[in-house]
């Protein structure tokens, strides 16, 4: 089987404010090390900013892709044939599925800074996961890509 270009690919990047927070972590480290001199203070600024930026970048590096006949969401790879209907969730409905409607057996690719999501039923009887909850900025496009991959 030959894989074509992904009809859908999204990286759930961290918001811009997180980069400002990374810099502020560096400033905090610089202030902590200020009594030890200028060189430790500069090292704290650079080191604190770098560590916080790496943490923000790694958290925001998760991807959702539909490639060939598979949905790849973070570390999970699920054949599209094992998936049922996809339900586009607006911000209010997505919050409900993250809280009081949530099933503890569900697979959640959750990013709280992304208000919209897609909920996809899992139809494989051997899989105890009832559904996938995928935070996405473009739930309609992801649902369309899943439908296209199913019909292909």
As a whole number, mean pLDDT of residues 122-127 equals 92
For the chain, the distance separating the N- and C-terminal CA atoms, rounded to the nearest angstrom, is: 13
Is 2 a residue whose pLDDT tops 50? no
* pLDDT level of residue 133 (50, 70, 90 thresholds): very high
Tokens read off for 57: 């970048």
Domain contains 116 = yes
Distances (CA, A) of 130 to 10, 84, 108, 133: 23, 10, 11, 10
Q: Do 71 and 45 sit in the same domain of this protein?
A: no
- Let me know whether 77 and 54 are in one domain: no
Query: For residue 6, what pLDDT is reported?
Result: 53
pLDDT at 1: 44
Is the same domain home to 54 and 75? no
SS3 135: strand
Confidence (pLDDT) at 110: 93
Q: Report the C-alpha gap between 103 and 140 in whole angstroms.
A: 23
24, 96: one domain: no
User: Region 20-42: what's the mean pLDDT?
Assistant: 97
Q: Give the per-residue pLDDT at 7.
A: 82
For residue 141, give every residue at least 6 positions away whose Cβ sits within 8 Å of its Cβ, in sequence order, or none. 8
Is the whole model's pTM more than 0.85, yes or no?
A: no
Q: Which domain holds residue 55?
A: 12-59
pLDDT tens digits for range 61-114: 899 999 989 999 999 999 999 999 999 999 999 999 999 999 999 999 999 899
């Amino acid at each position: 089987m030959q894989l074509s270009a992904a009809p859908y690919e999204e990286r759930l990047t961290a918001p811009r404010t997180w980069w400002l927070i990374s810099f502020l972590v560096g400033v905090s480290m610089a202030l902590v090390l200020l009594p030890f001199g200028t060189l430790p203070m500069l090292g704290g600024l650079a080191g604190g900013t770098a560590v916080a930026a790496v943490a923000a970048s790694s958290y925001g590096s998760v991807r959702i892709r539909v490639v060939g006949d598979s949905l790849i969401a973070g570390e999970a790879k699920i054949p599209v044939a094992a998936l049922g209907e996809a339900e586009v969730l607006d911000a209010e409905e997505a919050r409900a599925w993250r809280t009081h409607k949530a099933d503890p057996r569900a697979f959640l690719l959750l990013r709280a800074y992304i208000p919209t999501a897609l909920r996809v039923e899992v139809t494989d009887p051997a899989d105890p996961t009832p559904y996938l909850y995928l935070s996405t900025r473009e739930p309609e496009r992801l649902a369309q890509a899943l439908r296209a991959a199913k019909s292909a």
